[in-house]
Amino acid sequence: MFKFSTLLSSAILIATPALLAAQTLSQTDKEIESKLADALSRLSSARAEIRDEKVPLSRKLNELQAEIKTLDKEAERIDRLRENSNFDLTKMQESVKARQEEIQFASNLLLEYARGLETRASIAELSTLEPLIDESLLAADVEDGTGLNKQAEIMMIGLDRAKELVGGQIIQGEAILPTGAFEDGKFILFGPITYFSSDKSGLGGIAQRGASSEPSVVDIGIPDADESIATLASSKSGKLPVDSTIGNAIALASTEETIPEHIAKGGIWVYPILGFALLATMVAGFKALEIYSIKRPADSEIGKLFSAITSADQEKALHIANAMPGPLGKMFQAGSKNIFESKETVEEVLYEEMLETKPKINRMLPFIAVTAATAPLMGLLGTVTGMINTFKLITIFGTGDAKSLSSGISEALITTEFGLIVAIPALIMHAILSRRAGAMIGDMEKSGVAFINALPKKEKSAS
């Protein structure tokens, strides 16, 4: 009984949790079913809501996609427009650059024309044209269009001036006359030539730019030229002397100088050169007269002398020798006095005469050679001093004014010129005179040998 009770109690204890578990599972299933039903209900509601919202959203999506396509097309169109605008801007910039270069080229041409007009304009026109030309030159630096317009004005002025010069133009003004007087008068502009006629003295000529800022008048050098110019200036009709070289001939004529003026430009070293030249000329003239005045005996007379010597006719030989002129005759006279002496003695006598004659013939010839050698060196010395003076002038005046350097350059060149002028003739004269003197000495030597060969042969004494 006890065992049965125990078993029953144990069974009850074991069955109680199982019953409790069964109840819990049943409740859990119900809860799950309830939650599942609730979830399915919400899912159905969500699906219904999604279904209701899907159509408008799809419509909105299509609208947005269509708008995106439209915006893409607009963006492409804008990109093309931007590219086209960039290309047009580049072309426009290139076109602007080309126009600027053309404007600069035109400005440079007008600038060159203005400068040329200033050079071509006569001295009488400068007072009127210079301000306009300066204004045109300054306008070249102006970048806007007004500068180019201002430059174009000077071209129109130049064209008007050219038209007026074709028929001639008369301008009142002042100029420096050839006499040095500064007088009022009238400028006559005719083509590239400008004439001037004084109202006071009636003197006239061609007006040129001088060293000063005032016009200077150069005498034309034609008779009645002043009267012709004055008549034209007063009556506006007449004849004019025309210089076809446009003043170049007169300019060249003005540079001509006399020999004393040319010598004076050579400086101090020209005078020693001229002194040597004078002495060398005197010596050369004297020696030429001396050498070429020496007479040589005729060959026929020399032949007669040698025949008399060979025949041992001393008296006849002396008579013929005494009649012979020059050093050769003197040598034959000395030899004829000793024809009966030994050949060695006669040879010594003849040689003595030749030694006595040679210095007389050659005397003063070395001075001509010294002059020929010294004159170029003195000219070179003058060149050095002239260049030194030129560098001194450069230190003072700079290199801008060539006229201020002309004195030193003239000294450098003129001394060299005179040195060569003296040296070359001196060298030639020395060569000619020395050759002539040498020929005379050679003739004496040849004649001396012939004289010795003509001596009478002495008979050998019998052994």
Cα–Cα distance between 333 and 344 in angstroms, integer?
17
Q: From 152, 205, 150, select the one nearest 183 (Cα to Cα).
A: 205
Cα angle at 69 between 65 and 75, to 5 degrees? 140
Q: List the structure tokens of 227.
A: 């009267």
- Give the pLDDT band (50/70/90) at residue 463: very low
Q: How far apart are the first and last CA of the chain?
A: 224
- pTM (two decimals): 0.54
pLDDT tens, residue by residue, 414-444: 888 999 999 999 999 999 999 999 898 898 8
Contact 346, 368 (CB under 8 A): no
pLDDT tens, residue by residue, 5-45: 565 566 666 655 655 556 677 777 778 888 888 888 888 88
Q: Which residue has the tokens 């200036």?
A: 233
Tell me the sheet residues that pair with 175. Answer: 183
Higher pLDDT, 324 or 197: 324
CA atoms in the 13 A half-sphere facing the CB of 264: 5
Q: From 225, 222, 212, 227, select the one nearest 182 (Cα to Cα).
A: 212
Contact 178, 205 (CB under 8 A): yes
pLDDT tens, residue by residue, 377-402: 998 988 888 888 878 777 776 666 66
pLDDT tens, residue by residue, 234-287: 777 767 777 666 666 666 666 677 788 878 887 888 899 999 999 999 999 999
Mean pLDDT of 112-137: 69
